[in-house]
Amino acid sequence: MVKMSLDPVQVMSGQVKELKVAPSSNGDSRGSWEEKEEFSQDHLGLTTKPKPPKPENAVTIAVSSRVLFRTETEQKVFEQKGVEEYLRYQIEHENEPFAPGPAFPFVKALEAVNTRLRELYPQSEELFDIVLVTYNHAHVGIRLINTINHHNLFIERFCMTGGASPIGYLKAWHTNLYLSADADKVREALAEGIAAATMFMPEKLTEVSESQLRVAFDGDAVLFSDESERIFKAHGLDKFFEHERENEDTLLDHGPLKGFLEALGKLQKKFYAKGQRLDCPIRTFLVTARSAASSGIRALKTLRAWGLEIDEALFLAGAPKGPMLEKIRPHIYFDDQMFHVEGAAEMGTIAAHVPYGIAQKHQKVSKKNTTVAK
């Protein structure tokens, strides 16, 4: 199974298709701030940016700095020399941008959707709003701001907690999705009812769309509850099929990421209302190990009853998900089982683990090491 890393986030050479971003201090070459593009200016010569939406109106995505950017060098300084030397290092290097991390293509795709939404609805605040969340001290904020400007990202909201838990702040931001390198904090967020996942960077990357946000979901214990998975784990596949047939017309309960799919669907409908269904910059996928004929109908009936649309549904009947995800090329794929997360990463997909449900008691350890930040 593929080796994945979060902290440091590593990309192995040779098989990687490089992201189209400026050189930076943690990448293959060093960069300077003079290389970045400037924002457009108004008739008075003042730099102009779009206003961020109010949190209660937006689809809020909270992203840890450790998954948005690569911070492996800094992490080594912290681990080997302590917090004071770490802060000193950050200040000394604050004019050197961080390289992109696993969440970077996802965030760029969110911003591409916002651009389209602003063209269609100039006054609307129903947009993606990105909040950068970091355990760092405020001194590190200068380097983070410099990095964001260097990569031409539109992130105005920061949450720098100085080592404290960010979960309370996530609730105040009305967070729809939290992406982090810290599995413990992800579990804490899920326990508070916040959709959350731990991100992983594969050793190789599949090139993804720059104009269409593509998000793929597992079904059980991600969009749906783990009710059916509990039957399978306890009684086997035959009992699972029997249970699904008997409960075909009984809706599945919601899972931790149902709300995020709802938020995506709400924005999709804004494009549909303008006659852009076939040119919508958001596309969603269900990629499940369920079989279509024997257990898929219950999943589809549940989504329909919820009023949710999935653009594409793949029922794999237990086949590996990695090859299908390689063809889909999502910016992010959510699954509750590390086996599938690793299989996706092996094929170059950026996958995120949702540590929810009965499968967490049955996780198998990969034969290869998987480094997860603590």
57 near 45, Cβ under 8 Å? no
Confidence band of 294 (pLDDT split at 50, 70, 90): confident
C-alpha span between 353 and 178 (Å, rounded)? 12
Nearest-CA neighbor of 65 among 93, 106, 103, 25? 103
213-372 and 55-199 share a CATH fold: yes
Which of residues 174 and 244 earns the better pLDDT score? 174
Q: Which of 7, 129, 182, 218 is catalytic?
A: 218
Stronger pLDDT, 169 or 4, i.e. the higher one: 169
Report the alpha-carbon distance of residue 73 to residue 26 in Å, rounded: 7
pLDDT at 63 over 90: yes
| Mean pLDDT in residue range 21-31 | 41
Residues 318-358: pLDDT tens digits? 899 999 999 999 999 999 999 999 999 989 999 999 999 87
Q: How many CB atoms lie within 10 A of CB 169?
A: 15
> Mean pLDDT in the chain?
84
Sorting pLDDT into bands at 50, 70 and 90, what band is 43? very low
| pLDDT at residue 365 tops 90 | no
Q: Known catalytic residue: 218?
A: yes
Strands 213-217 vs 282-288: parallel, antiparallel or unpaired: parallel
Taking the C-alpha atoms of residue 98 and residue 128, their distance in angstroms, rounded to an integer, is: 23
In this structure, the strands spanning 282-288 and 351-353 are unpaired
367: burial class by Cβ within 10 Å (0-12, 13-18, 19+)?
exposed
Name 136's Cβ contacts closer than 8 Å, sequence gap at least 6: 65, 90, 144, 160, 162
Looking at the domain covering 55-199, what would its CATH class be? alpha beta
The DSSP call for residue 41 is B
Question: For residue range 187-196, what is the model confidence (pLDDT) as tens digits?
Answer: 999 999 999 9
3-state secondary structure of 43: coil
pLDDT greater than 50 at residue 228: yes
Kindly state the tokens that stand for 230.
């509990």
% residues pLDDT > 90 (the chain): 60
Pairwise CA distance, residues 59 & 129, whole Å: 6
Q: Looking at residues 293-319, what average pLDDT do you find?
A: 92
By C-alpha distance, which of 199, 153, 210, 223 is closest to 329?
210
* Segment 300-321 mean pLDDT: 94
Query: β-strand 69-70 against 99-100: which pairing, if any?
Result: antiparallel
Is residue 308's pLDDT more than 70? yes
pLDDT surpasses 50 at 146:
yes
pLDDT for 245 equals 82
Mean pLDDT value of segment 10-17 = 35
pTM greater than 0.95: no
- List Cβ<8 Å contacts ≥24 apart for 192-198: 192/167, 194/167, 194/170, 195/256, 195/257, 195/259, 195/260, 196/256, 196/354, 197/257, 197/334, 197/352, 197/353, 197/354, 198/6, 198/352, 198/353, 198/355, 198/372
Asked if residue 9 has pLDDT above 90, the reply is no
Q: How far apart are CA 112 and CA 212, in angstroms?
A: 7
Residue 38 has pLDDT above 60, yes or no: no
Q: Where does 213-372 sit in CATH, by number?
A: 3.40.50.1000
**pLDDT score at 198:** 97
pLDDT at position 232 over 80: no
Taking the C-alpha atoms of residue 261 and residue 256, their distance in angstroms, rounded to an integer, is 10
Mean pLDDT value across residues 15-41 = 40
Residue spans per domain, the chain:
55-199, 213-372
Looking at per-residue pLDDT, the higher value among 47 and 66 belongs to 66
Output the CA angle 285-286-289, nearest 5 degrees. 145
Model confidence pLDDT, tens digit, residues 115-143: 999 999 999 999 999 999 998 888 889 99
3-class DSSP state for residue 35?
A: helix
Which bin fits 52, alpha (ψ -120 to 50), beta or left (φ > 0)?
Answer: beta
